Structure 1
Amino acid sequence: MLRIGVLVSGGGTNLQAIIDKIENGYLDKCSIVTVVSGKHDAYALQRATKHGIPSICISSKDYASIDEYDTAIIEHFKEYQVGLVVMAGFLSILGEKFTMAFQNKIINIHPSLIPAFCGKGYYGIIPHRRALEYGVRVSGATVHFVEREADAGPIILQKAVSIEQEDTPETLQKRIMEEAEWDILPAAIKLFSENRLVVEGRRVRILP
């Protein structure tokens, strides 16, 4: 059984997508053993409690440095024997110590087709706003392994979503969540749980 630790900061819609896939049997080899929020008021914590999942707020504001913050989260995940870390809308900054401790065992969902509209400062509604400002016809979501640089790790899965003429950043954000994020994040977790992902430099090979 793959023991998953989920990092959140907000509403937890992607957390809910994972929970739903575990409960309906799609992620039959997975269990969320802990949810960690960077914010005390994150609704994601309530979602975890509702489903009987241990949850905690570990805020970067309580630590003097990124290194100390990394240590706190590493120790927490090791206490729960976490085998995969899923960043599901986690907005706090983590350092190299954390990424090295779970190398190729951290995945993130990003609301664009990387390398477009990604990197430092591209979070929440911002990638959708930039996509509309640029005038692209297609956006989407990407699941990737996490490295020190924001949104720069090897790509696992991507899914495109067409941009409609009347879209606003809010309508595009909602449609990308529903049509892409909630689909490919659980799919990537399933592939990881089945040991079907092999990282080869910048590329991720998916085994049959």
Structure 2
Amino acid sequence: MLKVAVLISGAGSNLRAFLETVSESTFPARVVAVGADRDADGLSHATHFEVPTFSVPFRDFASRDEWGAALAAQLRTYAPDLIVLSGLMRLLPQAVVDEFAPRIVNTHPAYLPEFPGAHGVRDALAAGAVETGASVIQVDGGVDSGPILAQERVPVEPGDTEPTLHARIKPVERRLLSDVVRRIATGDLILT
């Protein structure tokens, strides 16, 4: 059984969907912990599913590297086989990436390498794109620059706003994440 730790920053709607999938008896992974870089509302989803939670507030540390060291220490206590970034709105320090790579994956609401960064949906609309998408990538030291593990196109419809487009991207993002984690757990996808 693949042990997964999930890191979030906000409301955790993708986390909730992932926890629902993982709770199915046939799913070959389980979430061993959910952590956040702040007091995130999404931690309540983990509590609902009786998954341990932790918070390592970024504001409590003098530097990004100190925060990363504390985050890595928390992650080590759960010994995850895989770390999923699901709405974590902060870049992991290089030392954290180096310690846990290649076992870190991230979801992104765009068809990478198009529209990387924190505002992928907004950027797609601003660029006048006729389609965007969702991606699951392996985390490296850059901004949404790691190897692509899965992705799918999502059309931009006339009159779309950031909320309406994001609402159509989220189900695709959730399905891709569950599929990637399942493939990792069964050995169909090897992270290198």
What residue is the counterpart of 1:158 in the other structure?
Answer: 151
Deviations 1:133-154 (A, max 9, x none): 2121111110000011110100
In the alignment, is the contact (CA less than 8 A) between 1:69 and 1:94 conserved in 2?
no
User: What is the root-mean-square deviation in Å for CA atoms of aligned residues?
Assistant: 1.3
* Counterpart Cα distance in 1 of 2:176 and 2:115: 18
CA shift, 1:195, in A, is 2.0
What residue is the counterpart of 2:161 in the other structure?
Answer: 168
In the alignment, is the contact (CA less than 8 A) between 1:154 and 1:199 conserved in 2?
no
Residue identity matched to 1:5: A
What residue is the counterpart of 1:141 in the other structure?
Answer: 134
TM-score by length of 1: 0.88
SS in 1 for 2:76: helix
TM-score by length of 2: 0.95
What residue is the counterpart of 1:78 in the other structure?
Answer: 76
Deviations 1:156-195 (A, max 9, x none): 00011111112111100111002x1111011111111112
Show the 5 A alignment for 1:65-104.
65-104=63-102
What residue is the counterpart of 2:185 in the other structure?
Answer: 193
Equivalences, count: 192
Show the 5 A alignment for 1:16-165.
16-25=16-25, 28-40=27-39, 42-118=40-116, 122-123=117-118, 126-165=119-158
In the alignment, is the contact (CA less than 8 A) between 2:184 and 2:190 conserved in 1?
no
Listed as ranges, the gaps of 5+ residues in structure 2 are none
Listed as ranges, the gaps of 5+ residues in structure 1 are 201-208
Seq. identity, %: 31
* Counterpart Cα distance in 1 of 2:150 and 2:25: 21
SS in 1 for 2:72: helix
